[in-house]
Amino acid sequence: MDSSTDDIVKEIPGVIRVYKNGRVQKLLATNVVPAGLDPSSGVQSKDVLFSSDKTLSARLYIPKSTNAVTRKLPLLIYYHGGAFIVATAASRIYHNFLNLIAAESNVVIVSVDYRTAPEHPVPTCFQDSWEAIKWVEQHVNQNGPEQWLNKYSDLGRVFFCGDSTGANIAHHMGIRIGTENRSGGIYLQGIILLHPYFWGKDRVGSEPRQHPLMRVIRDLWLFAHPDTIGLDDPLINPALDPKVADLGCSRVLVCVGEKDILKDRGWYYKMILRKNGWRGDIEILEDKGEVHTFFLFKPCSQNACNLRNRIQINHSKVQDLPSGF
């Protein structure tokens, strides 16, 4: 056997390796778990197929309270992170995180398992994510194909949420809601961006002139979207998106970490929306001393608990939260 077939032709350390023979090895968030009952929270989950060709899936979560539900619960559509390259809706870190969100916020969740690069380069993830929204909208009149959504979800109280690249997707799905000529669909109340992955060619805020992670951020984007126009592509730089003010909701919550190199992009996002004429309410919250998506890896930390508390969206539980989420 020719050992050269195992030569690495592309590697982004800690994320992915591509071999000369075409094999792809993903290195992050590879530990997956099945859906089912979470004994610690009572949250139930299951996997469903949502595309017409039965190739796309999502993981659904319902809290224990649905056992005696007297009114329908808000719906959270969640997009996982992973640089558009790694992770799935079944990754352990996301499954554990969303069990907590479903239980603590008392919401129904649709976690979208969009396809990832390099097998499915950007913009596939955005197309898949929009397909998931259209599938959810089939349940507006309570006669859709998924009974959990028909029975438990209030499609007049919908929120999009995601972390890192998933937050990027949530942002773009919010814009598409605002730009599509739609009737009889879901009502998007707000989007929640956790450590959003936005970037651009020019520095903003206190971003350093040189930092090892800057090259990684660039390489991840160029790898995930080989046909991109570059770091000022509107898909990654909302400042250059002519549709950014069309965001189809009235509230935005952005969470950033003090030690995250992407932090300033989260703060800049508020300026972008205001500068372009978006008239909704936006709040930025920063966790001191925390790195990128710390809440996935340290779920029991006080800052992670505080972050989850901020994004509770069930109105019966949020009257004291400054953001109103």
Exposed e or buried b for every residue in 47-66, given b needs 16+ CB within 10 A? ebebeeeeebbbbbbbbebb
Rounded to the nearest angstrom, the gap between the alpha carbon of residue 145 and the centroid of all alpha carbons in its chain is 24
Rounded to the nearest angstrom, the gap between the alpha carbon of residue 248 and the centroid of all alpha carbons in its chain is 17
Cα–Cα distances in angstroms (integers) from residue 228 to residues 3, 120, 128, 158, 170, in the given order = 33, 14, 18, 31, 19
**By C-alpha distance, which of 92, 87, 133 is closest to 113?**
87
Of residues 164, 171, 233, 323, which has the active-site annotation?
A: 164
Tokens of 317: 């539980």
Of residues 95, 139, 172, 292, which has the active-site annotation?
A: 292
- Whole-number Å distance between alpha carbons of 153 and 130: 19
Of residues 38, 233, 241, 260, which has the active-site annotation?
A: 260
Tokens of 278: 């978006």
Residue 120 designated active-site: no
Residue 164 designated active-site: yes
Are 143 and 62 in contact by the 8 Å Cβ rule? The answer is no
Cα–Cα distances in angstroms (integers) from residue 210 to residues 49, 54, 87, 253, in the given order = 44, 45, 28, 29
13, amino acid identity: P
**By C-alpha distance, which of 125, 254, 133, 145 is closest to 193?**
254
Tokens of 302: 């006080």
Tell me how many helices (H) and strands (E) the chain has.
Answer: 8, 11
DSSP assignments along 37-66, one per residue? B-TTT--EEEEEE-STTS--EEEEEE-GGG
Tokens of 59: 């993981």
Q: Kindly list the catalytic residues.
A: 164, 260, 292
